[in-house]
Structure 1
């Protein structure tokens, strides 16, 4: 093993704009040139399918990688506590002998490995990402120096394989956005690093639920307005931009970004609500029932909307509103229970 890890090279890879999997492979190849390990396994944890997805490896044949991708391996790792923030841990330090761990007894020991060092990888102030595993043919315990160095490098490796970092690069394309969260398929969300918190991005926010349903439905982009304090009677609105995830693991849905103090063609709060129902294809009668207002009031709102949107028909108004994100969508109805 070399005296010093190639930190500068790892930093360059982690900060690069290349796709996530390419960054992960670069990190593993760089570590392989520094470490004396016989195999390296870098993974991302998928909370939806409850498996570890390999994003980089050296020294492991495909049958071994296929075995390590099983749900049973992920369960065994969690039982060993390797999914929590902790220093690197040797397999010989676990409370269960390695001969009694199925992953080792059935796969790794027959393959020729006698020692291993696991390093949990966590997003700063965010979710558990996965694990870096070093495997050794020798049964010699890993040195304290190796453990310390890997513990110091873990945040750098997390930066390199962070789905949030990829999402943050996309978020910067939305002009004026000051807040944002990443939505995961398991229903959780995490604030994008470097952006502010916002009440509209709370876990129980109706606006976030609209965004989540948008992404689950496969829509790649959506923009809409929402009352800034959650009260439809106010005049202040924020713009929410929903973007699907790209170059990230499948358990990441996408991002929701907030641009404060958005305005749209001088439409009033009530007109924005009516326009949102027009986007959904509702008739005047349905809008009147939904908003509990008179039918003639709906007709007046629609007339004002057409004038302000500079379109001749309600259909064109809906198309333009959807394209410009110039409407307040109706709150989502509760999901049906089976």
Structure 2
């Protein structure tokens, strides 16, 4: 009992350790083997887009087995057996039909000499599904009730250890005052960001989100810009949109994040001047700016004079650089 308690403390320590998600996942499996017997193990992250699982660590499994488990047949079998829901660990002996009826067992595990397993969906303490664990054994005897209970108790610890939101939320924490946000998926969709509110400006059809996604797709690690809250005239003021690339240890399905923060520190720039700055950042000439905003070149020149003064920039080039660096502009509408 004392050794098991010590092992559980080691597991909790490994789950809370720094480093990348794959590093923590590997450490978790090494410690878990002290608590729950297995011959091989597979630990995977759930795709935020809901299209399967991404292998994050394995233990004593050949590459073909890991590749199979990471494929669509395994994802289908997880769904069929209900191990993508919060429930006690599942063994093939619990199924109301032979395990051979599942492609994962018939085509992969049994031919590899694996006869038993414990499968567990991994959920955080708040009920968010983050991954899946399979502990595999060549033994033909079903896992004992004690082993099942122990693994079930350790599920939230394992989920905390591989939770990709940890690295994502640490990135969010670097953006002060974030009030709303979404995850940008590589398939073009977006998902809620736990802990932050939704906002209409971050809906899939929002021009602001389209621009943020373009920044991430272009490989920009960090960029920000301003967006009018209610209308092009910004009668409701501006918010700042920050686009961030996903950390390297994020699931492959995630491309980045888009966050909203209050539009403060605008250097007394007017809504129209912010529009002019946006076109200036995009390299437009005075004539092109005048055409885009349906004003005269003389009006554009007057706006630029005020902009240079407020940004303390002697040239339009320096004004554009300073505006882009500080996110002090409203980009033009994307072509969608």
When normalised by structure 2's length, the TM-score is 0.86
Deviations 1:40-71 (A, max 9, x none): 21012346795533222223223322332333
SS at match of 2:240: strand
Question: Cα offset for 1:110?
Answer: 1.9
- The answer to whether the aligner puts 1:275 opposite 2:277 as a matched pair is yes
Name the CA shift for 1:10/1:303 in 2 (closer, same or farther; >3 Å).
Answer: same
Distance 1:81 1:295, change over 3 A: farther
Distance 1:229 1:122, change over 3 A: farther
1:8 aligns with 2:6: no
Partner of 1:29, secondary structure, is helix
Cα distance, 1:264–1:39 mapped onto 2, change above 3 Å: same
Q: After TM superposition, give the deviation of residue 109 of structure 1 in Å.
A: 0.9
| Structure 2 CA distance for aligned equivalents of residues 313 and 15 of structure 1 | 50
Q: CA deviation at 1:5?
A: 7.7
State the distance in 2 between where 1:205 and 1:125 align: 30
d(CA) in 2 for partners of 1:102, 1:80: 12
Q: Is the 8 A contact 2:11 2:28 kept in 1?
A: yes
Secondary structure in structure 1 of the residue aligned to 2:33: helix
> Which ranges of structure 1 fall in alignment gaps of 5 or more residues?
none
Match of 1:257 in 2: 259
Q: C-alpha distance in 2, partners of 1:3/1:142?
A: 17
Q: Report the Cα distance in structure 1 between the residues aligned to 2:125 and 2:291, rounded to whole angstroms.
A: 47
In the aligned structure 1, how far is the partner of 2:192 from the partner of 2:5?
34
Using the TM superposition, give the Cα deviation of residue 131 of structure 1 relative to its aligned residue in structure 2, in angstroms: 0.8
CA RMSD in angstroms, aligned pairs only: 2.8
Task: Give a deviation string over 1:301-334, Cα, whole Å, max 9, x none.
Answer: 2222122122233222221111111111123221
C-alpha distance in 2 between matches for 1:101 and 1:125: 31
- Alpha-carbon distance in structure 2 between the residues aligned to 1:44 and 1:32: 19
Task: Name 2:61's counterpart in structure 1.
Answer: 60
Aligned to 2:46: 45
Q: How does 1:168-207 map to 2 (within 5 A)?
A: 168-186=169-187, 187-193=189-195, 195-207=196-208
SS at match of 2:67: helix
In 1, the alpha carbon distance for the partners of 2:158 and 2:222 equals 30
Question: Is the 2:245–2:256 Cα contact (8 Å) retained in structure 1?
Answer: yes
> Would you say the 8 A contact 2:118–2:136 is kept in 1?
yes
**1:6–1:34 Cα contact (<8 Å) kept:** yes
Cα separation, 1, equivalents of 2:135 and 2:78? 14
Provide the rounded CA distance (Å) in 1 between the counterparts of 2:126 and 2:301.
50
Distance 1:182 1:124 in 2: 21
Partners of 1:201 and 1:6 in 2: how far apart? 44
Taking a change above 3 Å as real, the CA distance of residues 37 and 293 of structure 1, as seen in their structure-2 partners, is same
**Deviating more after overlay: 26-35 vs 10-19:** 10-19
Provide the rounded CA distance (Å) in 1 between the counterparts of 2:125 and 2:243. Answer: 23
2:288 alignment counterpart: 286
Q: Alignment partner of 2:131: what SS?
A: strand
| Number of equivalences | 333
Summarize deviations over 1:208-236 as a string: whole Å, max 9, x none: 22212211121111011122446643262
By how many angstroms is 1:267 displaced?
A: 0.5
- For the 8 Å contact 1:48–1:185, the answer to whether it is kept is no
